[in-house]
């Protein structure tokens, strides 16, 4: 098994599960025990300042909390860009990683140029993700930091497909509801 940690899972058009339809998921962990990631393009409409005020020091208090997935929706996960990657709980790719769960002093993390707060996560049991990949439910590509911290979450699905080019760029042109095409 090749780990997909640090890759995007772009929902294929035929993936109609409402939890994942037209989502872009960053895979944070992937191994024989399964996989976990966070949905990058589902802002909740609730601000960090309202939902989790203690995290306003890491992510702007007016920033939106993102719905990371349908698993443990009350769990709070923070992804950040680390100036000092060795201070992350774990690095997913490049200098992007998870903020430790218990933070006594945010200054110990060093500079975090960008941070995003997620409620919940996406999870797969052993070999469940591999089965979904065999069923062509996901399109896989390496993640970029700007994917994680996109300022256009509504356009991320399309832009990630366009970046792949070819037939994937054509998929990006599909309307939300093909019946109205």
Question: Contact at 8 Å (CB) between 8 and 147?
Answer: yes
Query: Is there a domain that residue 48 lies in?
Result: yes
Over residues 98-126, the pLDDT tens digits come to: 999 887 788 889 999 999 999 999 999 99
The three-class DSSP label of residue 7 is strand
Backbone φ and ψ of 81, nearest 5°: -95, 120
Cβ neighbours of 72 (radius 10 Å): 13
Arithmetic mean of pLDDT over the chain: 94
Grade residue 157 by pLDDT with cuts at 50, 70 and 90: very high
Share of the chain above pLDDT 90, in %: 85
DSSP 8-state class, residue 100: P
d(CA 118, CA 124): 18
Instruction: Say how many domains are in the chain.
Output: 1
pLDDT for position 175: 80
pTM here is 0.94
**Maximum alpha-carbon separation in the chain:** 53
pLDDT for position 171: 84
Question: Which residues, in sequence order, are bridge partners of residue 9?
Answer: 25, 140
* Domain ranges, residue 124: 7-152
Residue 178 reports pLDDT greater than 70 = no
**CATH number of the structural domain spanning residue 22:** 3.40.1740.10
Query: Is there a domain that residue 174 lies in?
Result: no
Residue 181 reports pLDDT greater than 70 = no
Query: Is there a domain that residue 60 lies in?
Result: yes
Query: Is there a domain that residue 162 lies in?
Result: no
């Amino acid at each position: 098994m090749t780990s997909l940690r640090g890759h995007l899972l772009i929902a294929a058009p035929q993936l109609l599960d409402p939890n994942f339809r037209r989502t872009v998921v960053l895979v944070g962990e992937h191994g024989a025990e399964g996989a976990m990631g966070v949905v990058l393009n589902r802002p909740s409409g609730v601000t960090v300042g309202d939902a989790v005020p203690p995290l306003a020091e890491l992510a702007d208090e007016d920033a939106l909390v993102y719905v990371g997935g349908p698993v443990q929706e009350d769990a709070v996960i923070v992804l950040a860009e680390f100036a000092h990657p060795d201070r992350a709980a774990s690095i997913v790719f490049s200098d992007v990683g998870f903020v430790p769960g218990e933070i006594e002093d945010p200054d110990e993390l060093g500079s975090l140029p960008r941070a995003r707060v997620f409620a919940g996560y996406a999870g797969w049991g052993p070999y469940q993700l591999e089965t979904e990949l065999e069923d062509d439910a996901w399109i896989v590509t390496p993640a970029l930091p700007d994917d994680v911290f996109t300022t256009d979450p509504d356009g991320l699905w399309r832009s990630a497909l366009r970046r792949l080019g070819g037939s994937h760029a054509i998929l990006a042109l599909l309307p939300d509801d093909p019946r109205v095409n």
